Amino acid sequence: MTGRVLKMRWDHIKDGALWVEQGKTKARLQIDIVGELVALIDRIKSRGIVGMTLLSDPKGQRLKHSGNFRRQFKLTRDCA
């Protein structure tokens, strides 16, 4: 899952939803951007970092699928 999150791009957002493609089935899933997700995306935009992906480093480059990101993602997921 973390690999797909790192690949989410701004152009995947259309008509108030984030569109993602499942790996094995290639089915397109629509995630409505509401509630806390709206606030999160607004916070990302307010950083002023321009990159192709939603999650990027301070230079706007896509984050790498590193152990640190994976660890933090797992901690956050487990707390949710």
pLDDT along the chain (80 residues), means of 10: 78 93 86 93 84 81 70 77
pLDDT of residue 57: 77
Q: Is the pTM of this model over 0.75?
A: no
**pLDDT at residue number 36:** 92
On whether the CB atoms of residues 21 and 12 are closer than 8 A, the answer is no
| The pLDDT value given to residue 51 | 82
Domains of the chain: 2-79 (1.10.443.10)
| Nearest-angstrom CA–CA distance, 63 and 54 | 9
Please give the pLDDT value at position 74: 79
Residue 66 has a pLDDT of 65
- Residues with Cβ within 8 Å of 4's Cβ and at least 6 positions away in sequence, in order, are 20, 23
DSSP notation for 20-46: EE-TTT--EEEEE--THHHHHHHHHHH
Position 1 scores a pLDDT of: 54
Contact 6, 53 (CB under 8 A): yes
Task: Please give the Cα distance from 23 to 28 (Å, whole number).
Answer: 10
Q: What pLDDT sits at residue 68?
A: 64
